[in-house]
Each structure stands twice: as C-alpha cells, then as structure tokens.
Amino acid sequence: MKKLLIITAAALLITALATIGAGFYMLSFSLSPDANRHDTDSAYRQLHDNYPVAWAWADSMKNCGSLRDTFVTMPTGERHHALYARNDSAHGRTAVIVHGYKDCAIKFLYLGRMYHHDLGFNILMPDLHAHGLSEGDAIQMGWKDRLDVLHWMAVAERLFRRPAEASQMVVHGVSMGAATTMNVSGEELPQYVRWFVADCGYTGVWDEFALQLKEMFGMPQFPLMHVTSMLCNARYGWTFEEASPIRQVARCNRPMLFIYGDSDTFVPYSMAMPLYKAKQGEKSLWTTHGTRHARSFHDYPEEYVKRVKKLLGQ
C-alpha cells in the first residue's frame, strides 16, 4: 500500500509539473511579441501588397509631412507610438483605429485612408502594448490595452481640438483591435466618444484561446487553460476569464457596428451573434459572405465605406 501511494504521489507530481511547464509554454506561445515588430519597412511592404491604393496615399502623406509619428509615455511608464494625421475639413471628427494581433498601425493604414480621405476625419492609429514601435514585454489581448486606448483617445482629443468645434470620435478596431474596441466601449467614456466599429472581434480571450488550443494542438481546455490563466495573472496581472469583450459590450450604450466574415475560422463567425445580442441600444451587424479573417474591407471595400458612413450618419 505504501509503495502504491508513493507511485501515485510521484505520478501526480510529474503530471502537475508537466502541466505547469506546458502552461508556461502556452503563455509564451500566445503572448510573446513578434520578433520583427520594429521592422516598419516590412509593414509598409505588406500594406503595399495588400492595399496598394492605401500604400500610395500613405507614401504621399508621409512625403508631405501630413502623416506623422508621435510617442507618449503611458501611466505605466512605457513609451508608446502612434501615427496621426490632421484633416482640415474634419470639423472635430476623429477616428482612433486599433490594429490586430501581432500587427501594427502601419498595416491598417487602409482604414486610415478610408477615414481621412473618404470620410474627412482626423486619424490617430496607436501601436498597442508590445506591438510596432511601442514598448512592452507581452501582448495583452485587448484587455489592458483598453486602458492604453482610453489614454490615446484623450491624446487625440487634445491634439485635434479646435475652438468652436464639438469633438466627435469613433473607435474602430479589427480582430484583437475589435476586442480592444469592445473592451473600451464598456468603460466610462467622455461625451465626445460617439461610435464604435468592431470588425471580427472575439467574445473573450478564454473562448479564443480554447478554440486555438483545440484547433492547433488538439487539446481540451482542462487543465491547461486554467493553469495558463493563473500563470498569466501571476506574471501580467490579468486572467483569461476577466478579459471579456462580451461582458464589456453589454455595458455599451453608444452605437456600434459589428462586421464579420462568414468564412472566418480564426475568430469564428459563431461569435458574432452572441456579441450582437449582448449589445444594448443602437447596433447593426454586417456579414460579408465568403470572407476570411479580417478581410472584409479587402473583399468589399465600397460596401465597407458605405456601412461605416451609415453608422456615422453621413
């Protein structure tokens, strides 16, 4: 009996140590920044390949000094970067545009062009924590990023404010940027924040990571998700459970446009309706047919602009 107890205890200890080791691996796998995140030339090449019209616009804007870089120190003490451009015809209207997972602001200048060139808005496009030229040691999956974006929104309001103009702001995010946007929407907001656009955002970090764990590794949620979430809390101060856009969006009382591709498998289309139902008040859902993850603008650029215009009342 004693020998059996020793063997059982040893097996449990080995299993526990293996699970903790796997948890550390999964945490690093999921939240480590892109090793090439500072390579802005590569980001502009990707913009050129995917959205050549937007690349030409951005290149022209840079050359004439209209598209600029700015750096601010966050309350955490980290130095974060954003691109911005003023539009003299904006009349107080500003778009804050939030990029996706392991991306950067440069790759989303196609939306910058839409707001600046097509819709007549000022634009500010931050690099999130541990992305692009912003400092940070781990990806935050849109959760703590909501606090950084709130800070950037205040920066944008001060940067573009003009006397006798009423500020009006839209926050527009794609993928993890959409999750960030929904997380922002549930916070206490200044009056000038008027609209939100969430393009293919996930319901929650737990939901998204559990899906990828099954798809990529064929593993169940228990116990690895639970252990990894605890490790995330111990190391970075947040859990997968609390990082919940669906809970945040349920608190939002301002108009929101949801956009999803029905062929999206990375953030599955099945997440669209729960988020849409959770949102109270003015809302709309646009489904793009045959569209993969974060490709709605690419596949339907004219309709995309029309849908955003409708949200903005233009």
What are the tens digits of pLDDT across the range 299-308?
Answer: 999 999 999 9
Phi, psi of 43 (to 5 degrees): -65, -40
Q: What is the pLDDT of residue 11?
A: 55
Tokens of 102: 């392991």
Asked whether residue 12 carries a pLDDT value surpassing 60, the answer given is no
Q: What is the mean pLDDT of residues 55-69?
A: 98
Digit-coded pLDDT (tens) for 142-195: 999 999 999 999 999 999 999 888 999 999 999 999 999 999 999 999 999 999
* Helix or strand run (H / E) with residue 231: helix 224-236
From 39, 231, 26, 44, select the one nearest 131 (Cα to Cα). 39
| pLDDT-based confidence at residue 127 (cuts at 50, 70, 90) | very high
List C-alpha distances in Å: 87 to 84, 124, 154, 298: 10, 11, 18, 24
Q: What is the CB neighbour count within 10 angstroms for residue 70?
A: 15
Q: What does DSSP say about strands 168-174 and 122-126: parallel, antiparallel, or unpaired?
A: unpaired
Residue 16 pLDDT grade (very low, low, confident, very high; cuts 50, 70, 90): low
Dist. CA 116–CA 86, nearest whole Å: 8
For residue 216, what pLDDT is reported? 94
pLDDT at position 2: 72
Residue, of 44 and 19, whose pLDDT is higher: 44
Q: Is the dihedral of CA 131, 136, 141, 147 positive or negative?
A: negative
Q: How confident is the model over 191-243, as pLDDT tens digits? A: 999 999 999 999 999 999 999 999 999 999 999 999 999 999 999 999 999 99
> Which tens digit of pLDDT belongs to each residue from 263-276?
999 999 999 999 99
